[in-house]
Structure 1
Amino acid sequence: MNTCSSNDLNARVARIIDDLAERGWSLQTHFIAPTLTLELAEECRKRAAAGLLVRAGVGRSALAVINEGLRGDHIQWLEAGQNPACDQYLALMDGLRQALNQALYLGLEDFESHFALYPPGAYYKRHLDRFRDDDRRAVSVVFYLNEQWQAEQGGELRLHLADGSHHDVLPVAGSLLVFLSAEMPHEVLPATRERLSLTGWLRRRGSGPL
């Protein structure tokens, strides 16, 4: 079985709920079993080697514009049925969606996610995850896939907190970072090695255009 035990997973989800309610973000290490994390990392590298990850744009999909000065990651969106490990991850995120709805009444309806690969030196400047004309993204979720990551290799995701301070999160394999999309400006700092993650959003029915 690739997932952690039900009790362990439920405890981590409970901590996410408490953290979001209290401070708007949560970091859980070893969120899922190392075997599944490794399978996801291998799938990301396989897609990258096949040329399936493309330079990410800025803005909503149909209107996204490549801006190398803002972000340098390469991405591919996940779709159900493509890969067993990805399907398992999507199922876990749907369980998180249901738990957050039950506890926090967020009205989350679905989840979208993509692989993200940052080449050495790539970054993503400070931004918010919610579009000006589309408020459906409510909760941002980042799952890291980098084995044996060292602090001196950089690549932190820097959360800019409401009190003016910041908190840096190293992209260590198995770590899940969850935060409120509209309330948490953040940036990705450059790394000295390739940096892999699954980045996604739990979405609610919004008032913006579909």
Structure 2
Amino acid sequence: MRSESPAFPACLSAAAPSHLADGLLDGLTEHGWSQQNIFLSAQLTLELAAECRALAANGVLNPAKVGRGTAQALRTEIRGDRILWLKAGQSPACDQYLQLMENLRIALNRALYLGLDEYESHFAFYPPGASYQTHLDRFRDDDCRTVSVVIYLNHNWLPEQGGALRLHPQGESTQDIAPLGSRLVLFLSADMLHEVLPATRDRLSLAGWFRRRPA
């Protein structure tokens, strides 16, 4: 069974915003991961997807590296996505998305007492055949990342196109989550091994992390 995180109390103390599905935060505490199939509006999903595609077409996205600091290295056999970190004012669509994440940060703190202080996020563009091998999102020398977030931007995704997020919950069967547009996935950064399986078409998402302040 999954080891319990001491950060979570036995019960929730506050209601989440109305756009969050019932049980979303409970699933995070009980299983270490949770999902909501329609988190973004269809319009916002399309706008963010168009922005990601435009950035890719214009060569603005950068090959993602593995490691941290001076140890960062480009290892395409491990990770094949291209990314761009978001910043406030980048576009109206990104600002709307970041406001939703701020609302979610507040909801997580109110319900689960996580002490989340900030959110960081980037576009992630996987061309056909690209993948990301099994890994954890928390660095060994930095425990600030607490809750990982993935939001998918793919219109009319079909199961046979692949590209699933494969979760490896401790002591449980693997869980494959298809990258359907507007879908939100949350999981515990320190505990949840996960990987991205290759797809037969471009795979677009927003990856992010709610972070605590350094100790």
Question: Same-fold call, TM > 0.5?
Answer: yes
Alignment match of 1:75 (pick from 83, 102, 115): 83
Distance 1:8 1:85 in 2: 23
Structural mapping, 1:12-161, within 5 Å:
12=20, 14-60=22-68, 63-161=71-169
The one-letter amino acid paired with 1:185 is L
Distance 2:82 2:109 in 1: 31
Distance 1:95 1:153 in 2: 33
How many residue pairs get aligned? The number is: 201
Runs of 4+ in structure 1 off by over 6 angstroms are none
Deviation at 1:184, TM superposition (A): 0.4
Aligned residues: CA RMSD: 1.6
Distance 1:11 1:72 in 2: 33
Alignment match of 1:194 (pick from 199, 202, 205): 202
What TM-score do the two structures reach when normalised by structure 1? 0.92
Deviation at 1:14, TM superposition (A): 4.8
Structural mapping, 1:149-188, within 5 Å:
149-188=157-196
SS at structure 2 position matched to 1:186 = strand
Distance 1:194 1:98 in 2: 33
CA contact (8 A) 1:112 1:202 kept: yes
- Residue by residue, what CA displacement relative to the aligned partner does 1:68-118 show, whole Å, maximum 9, x if unpaired? 111100000000001000000000001000110011000000000000000
CA contact (8 A) 2:146 2:188 kept: yes
Uncovered stretches (5+) of structure 1, i.e. residues with no partner: 1-6
Uncovered stretches (5+) of structure 2, i.e. residues with no partner: 1-14
CA contact (8 A) 2:164 2:196 kept: yes
Distance 1:93 1:78 in 2: 12
Summarize the Cα distance change of 1:162–1:109 in structure 2 as closer, same or farther, 3 Å threshold.
same
Deviation at 1:10, TM superposition (A): 1.9
Deviation at 1:28, TM superposition (A): 0.3
Deviation at 1:153, TM superposition (A): 0.3
Distance 2:68 2:146 in 1: 15
Larger relative helix fraction: 1
Distance 1:204 1:73 in 2: 26
